[in-house]
Amino acid sequence: MLKSKTFLKKTRAGGVLKIVREHYLRDDIGCGAVGCTACGGAHEGPALEPQPQDPASSLCPQPHYLLPDTNVLLHQIDVLEDPAIRNVIVLQTVLQEVRNRSAPVYKRIRDVTNNQEKHFYTFTNEHHRETYVEQEQGENANDRNDRAIRVAAKWYNEHLKKMSTDNQLQVIFITNDRKNKEKAVEEGIPAFTCEEYVKSLTANPELIDRLACLSEEGNEIESGKIIFSEHLPLSKLQQGIKSGTYLQGTFRASRENYLEATVWIHGDNEENKEIILQGLKHLNRAIHEDIVAVELLPKSQWVAPSSVVLHDEGQNEDDVEKEEEREQMLKTAVSEKMLKPTGRVVGIIKRNWRPYCGMLSKSDIKESRRHLFTPADKRIPRIRIETRQASTLEGRRIIVAIDGWPRNSRYPNGHFVKNLGDVGEKETETEVLLLEHDVPHQPFSQAVLSFLPKMPWSITEKDMKNREDLRHLCICSVDPPGCTDIDDALHCRELENGNLEVGVHIADVSHFIRPGNALDQESARRGTTVYLCEKRIDMVPELLSSNLCSLKCDVDRLAFSCIWEMNHSAEILKTKFTKSVINSKASLTYAEAQLRIDSANMRDNITTSLRGLNKLAKILKKKRIEKGALTLSSPEVRFHMDSETHDPIDLQTKELRETNSMVEEFMLLANISVAKKIYEEFSEHALLRKHPAPPPSNYEILVKAARSRNLEIKTDTAKSLAESLDRAESPTFPYLNTLLRILATRCMMQAVYFCSGMDNDFHHYGLASPIYTHFTSPIRRYADVIVHRLLAVAIGADCTYPELTDKHKLADICKNLNYRHKMAQYAQRASVAFHTQLFFKSKGIVSEEAYILFVRKNAIVVLIPKYGLEGTVFFEEKDKPNPRLIYDDEIPSLKIEDTVFHVFDKVKVKIMLDSSNLQHQKIRMSLVEPQIPGISIPPDDISNMNLNGPQKKKMKFEK
């Protein structure tokens, strides 16, 4: 039967369109219950069980199916995902509404319906002749959908009765909408609210914790006073944004101060790019990453970013006055020019909530079911949840989702989702940091693995097409020890004409990962391999990363080669790109390679090749530095792991050898050569990498710090910066130069991938190269795979595909890659931090020399060169009288009692593991030298400090 659906739509231009769609109604849609004769049976895919053996519900003892409405699906997805809930009918009406309202929930529900075990059935009620309803006069779209759901529920109940007379099967309608429920009961449909039903499942009491607590509008007024001002409705916000009274931006909470946040304004308007928000009321329930609308405050109320470090410690939620007191603390007299545009949140445009990892802070009141949850990410406020299993959850990492934030509540409300495991366990902590940094780390799916080459694999005739045989060349690879994903190898030989031939050979990953298939999509999504201290999260399956693509020695491997002819002063005479087959003669570590170069009596082919490379690399490096490339420094640490327990047993900063820079130099050269080639060939859609020059204000801190040591750092160009950094030496203080370089690194911008057709600034500031890309690590970076494909097309070795030359698609890929790279970096840092903690846990308390990196209002940030470890020494403690602190922002310096601290001052600190806060076990540092009475601690007196155990009594904040 044919029906037509008619609806009106407003076009973007302001017109009104009448749209008519054909809509077919069928009478052969099955109910989904296996064995139902009326429907003809045969249902493909997941279906409902004929006799559901569900957990006994006290409300509904007979077997039943559930039929949730849209809001239940949207808000209570965590409950529905639980294995205890099975046999659920998902109506098409509901599914469509969910899809329109929340893509993530829609994806989750699709996953659940695809799971055979769950017995979820999608009923296409909109196309069923008996369950289709048309919108009636005076009925809005929502009412119609509600009615459609009720009609379907009613149909089901009648249908099931027809199945057999003695059948007790029922369909239970689950809705949280009071009116809808009343109507359903009137129509004879058994209906319950989600809460009622879940509570009736006596066998599964833990499900109650997962219920999202949604306060109804009506309840709000009676309980407690209102803390926050109301959020404006979306239509008002959009009008305001259009007219310019409000600004739209991404809310970024501060890690260091829970009362402060910045909003990054979207759009190209240069001024007011960043707006500061200060104080709980101005933050107005916005949560990190939300898209918000802000209103600028008048200039008289503008503030400067405070340099106070403040953590939300309050246990009791009613301490609003105290909060105000704290807010006052932020507002200190500052010079006029320090003031930044300040605003307040007037409304939320889009919430970006996700499930958060963290720990439970058990309520002080015994038997209380309401507890606060402290997320691991300090930018997320604490969340109030209701649970009966507080004692089992204590001391464990759990996941909690936010449900809402009423106006009268100091904290948002949420519900428990999942228990990850014990805190401090390596697996749990790794899981947490992967989840927190959104690193995809599930095992590769079967679909992805199906695109791997079949083993045993060998190079065939077909593979040799368009490929040069370079197996005779003396190629070797140089990598860090224990590296299994070798993606580059090198060779160098003298040609007959006296010139040198240098080759960089990169694993030919794009040969194995064909565009568009599941393997390609998965690696594009992962974007990069993530290296944690004890674990590697691969971008491509292991068969490729550690075997077929890895350029191991003494096996034939496919490669993408970049071969230059150079003269002895390292000038490139000819460049050639080709796909090739190579056979690496040796896999060396940096140390081994260095040893070969240095030992005079070694004269074999590999060694001469290495010596040639090393010689050229030195010249290349010199040239590069002359052009103004920066040599920056960041303290890098490596752990020596115990081979069995995988506990860190020693910690050392990374050593840099000549061979490191040799390999690096040729990789840079290859990347630059490839970048030029692909840009020449594809000026509109080359994937390149740029490093924007930082704005001059970024350097302020570096210049000030150097000035305090009577050194001058010029920052007008990269070259002058590099030169002035080179000149900044102090005979009495050899480490100063490294410190300055570390500081300079902090001033830099983030390098990013981009599509050449979408941008016109290609410059790479750090490398002082006009053009750059990534070509040399396709095993661990997806960007390189794209670059390989572009280059292969450019030299005619492979065919192109439509997406490759679509600059918008490329720009999307770049966006994802940049995000994944950033997140991978953060995850790596978090992993190092966690292992540092493990290390100090086993090591106990040590005193070490340190240098001051930054001076803050109430703390100093120090760097311990021995461990490459950075930490903060606080001078204000909750349970001690505050010392006299004078902070000077201009120098900058901090005067405590009579001692003045400047940047780069040498101090001695005691390092220990502070487990007083289980959630954030952290390395705690306290001052040993210089001695300040009452502040520093004597080197040997540590017995009276009770650090390794939760403090029994929470001291109240006093001022």
Partner 1 sequence: MASVALSEAEKVYIMHGVQEDLRVDGRGCEDYRCVEVETDVVSNTSGSARVKLGHTDILVGVKAEMGTPKLEKPNEGYLEFFVDCSANATPDFEGRGGDDLGTEIANTLYRIFNNKSSVDLKTLCISPREHCWVLYVDVLLLECDGNLFDAISIAVKAALFNTRIPRVRVLEDEEGSKDIELSDDPYDCIRLSVENVPCIVTLCKIGYRHVVDATLQEEACSLASLLVSVTSKGVVTCLRKVGKGSLDPESIFEMMETSKRVGKVLHASLQSVLHKEESLGPKRQKVGFLG
Binder of partner 1 out of 37, 53, 137, 446 (CB under 8 A): 137
How many angstroms separate the CA atoms of 19 and 6, rounded? 6
Strand partners, 441: none
Q: Is 819 in the site for partner 1 (CB under 8 A)?
A: no
* Closest approach of partner 1 to the CB of residue 5, in Å: 10
> Residue 9 or residue 603: which is nearer to partner 1 going by CB?
9
Q: Is 19 in the site for partner 1 (CB under 8 A)?
A: yes
Map residues 206-245 to x or -, x wherever contact with partner 1 holds by CB under 8 A: ---------------------------------x--xx--
β-bridge pairing 120-123 and 556-566: unpaired
β-bridge pairing 648-653 and 687-690: unpaired
The b-or-e profile of 791-824 (16+ CB within 10 A means b, else e) is: bbbbeebbeeeebbebbeebbebbeebbebbebb
Q: How far is CA 901 from CA 613, 856, 858, 898, in A?
A: 47, 10, 12, 10
Q: Is 1 in the site for partner 1 (CB under 8 A)?
A: no
Query: Segment near partner 1 (CB under 8 A), from 5-13, 553-561, 591-599, 888-896?
Result: 5-13
Q: Is 949 in the site for partner 1 (CB under 8 A)?
A: no
Q: How far is CA 569 from CA 36, 500, 609, 615, in A?
A: 84, 10, 16, 9
State phi, psi for 502 to the nearest 5 degrees: -115, 135
Binder of partner 1 out of 139, 177, 501, 647 (CB under 8 A): 139
Query: Segment near partner 1 (CB under 8 A), from 37-45, 139-147, 403-411, 840-848?
Result: 139-147
Binder of partner 1 out of 1, 2, 4, 881 (CB under 8 A): 4
Q: How far is CA 156 from CA 169, 177, 888, in A?
A: 10, 20, 74
* Closest approach of partner 1 to the CB of residue 68, in Å: 24
* Closest approach of partner 1 to the CB of residue 243, in Å: 5
* Closest approach of partner 1 to the CB of residue 525, in Å: 38
Q: Is 482 in the site for partner 1 (CB under 8 A)?
A: no
β-bridge pairing 191-192 and 88-91: unpaired
204, 55 Cβ separation under 8 angstroms? yes
* Closest approach of partner 1 to the CB of residue 23, in Å: 11
User: Which run of H or E residues covers position 155?
Assistant: helix 141-163
Q: How far is CA 894 from CA 540, 695, 850, 890, in A?
A: 50, 27, 17, 11
State phi, psi for 361 to the nearest 5 degrees: -100, 105
Binder of partner 1 out of 1, 2, 10, 462 (CB under 8 A): 10
Which single residue is written with the structure tokens 């992993």?
A: 831
Q: Is 100 in the site for partner 1 (CB under 8 A)?
A: no
399: three-class secondary structure by DSSP: strand
Residues 106 to 135 in contact with partner 1, rule: CB under 8 A = 134-135
Q: Is 608 in the site for partner 1 (CB under 8 A)?
A: no
State phi, psi for 925 to the nearest 5 degrees: -125, 140
Query: Segment near partner 1 (CB under 8 A), from 9-17, 64-72, 373-381, 649-657?
Result: 9-17
> Residue 139 or residue 394: which is nearer to partner 1 going by CB?
139
Query: Segment near partner 1 (CB under 8 A), from 18-26, 425-433, 783-791, 887-895?
Result: 18-26
Q: How many residues interact with partner 1 (rule CB under 8 A)? A: 23
Q: Is 2 in the site for partner 1 (CB under 8 A)?
A: no
> Residue 2 or residue 455: which is nearer to partner 1 going by CB?
2
Which single residue is written with the structure tokens 């007379």?
A: 165
Binder of partner 1 out of 1, 2, 12, 15 (CB under 8 A): 15
Binder of partner 1 out of 1, 2, 8, 455 (CB under 8 A): 8
Residues 392 to 431 in contact with partner 1, rule: CB under 8 A = none
Strand order in the sheet with 869-874: 869-874, 859-864, 846-855, 906-914, 922-929
On the question of a cis peptide bond just before residue 515, with omega within 30 degrees of 0, the verdict is no
State phi, psi for 184 to the nearest 5 degrees: -65, -45
> Residue 133 or residue 751: which is nearer to partner 1 going by CB?
133
Binder of partner 1 out of 12, 18, 953, 959 (CB under 8 A): 18
Question: At CA 816, angle to CA 560 and CA 432, rounded to 5?
Answer: 110
How many angstroms separate the CA atoms of 724 and 271, rounded? 31
Binder of partner 1 out of 40, 138, 218, 482 (CB under 8 A): 138
Query: Segment near partner 1 (CB under 8 A), from 1-9, 287-295, 700-708, 770-778?
Result: 1-9
Tokens of 70: 């849209």
Dihedral of the alpha carbons of 332, 336, 338, 343, in degrees to the nearest 10: 80
* Closest approach of partner 1 to the CB of residue 130, in Å: 17
> Residue 20 or residue 365: which is nearer to partner 1 going by CB?
20
Write the DSSP assignment of 303-361 as a string of letters.
BPPP---B-----STTTHHHHHHHHHHH-----GGG-B-BEEEEEEEE-----EEEEEE
> Residue 140 or residue 497: which is nearer to partner 1 going by CB?
140
Binder of partner 1 out of 56, 59, 141, 573 (CB under 8 A): 141
* Closest approach of partner 1 to the CB of residue 37, in Å: 33
Binder of partner 1 out of 1, 12, 117, 140 (CB under 8 A): 140
146, 180 Cβ separation under 8 angstroms? yes
Map residues 684-723 to x or -, x wherever contact with partner 1 holds by CB under 8 A: ----------------------------------------
> Residue 134 or residue 604: which is nearer to partner 1 going by CB?
134
Residues 20 to 49 in contact with partner 1, rule: CB under 8 A = 20
Binder of partner 1 out of 1, 16, 42, 455 (CB under 8 A): 16
How many angstroms separate the CA atoms of 928 and 611, rounded? 48
Residues in touch with partner 1 (CB under 8 A)? 4, 6-10, 14-16, 18-20, 134-141, 239, 242-243
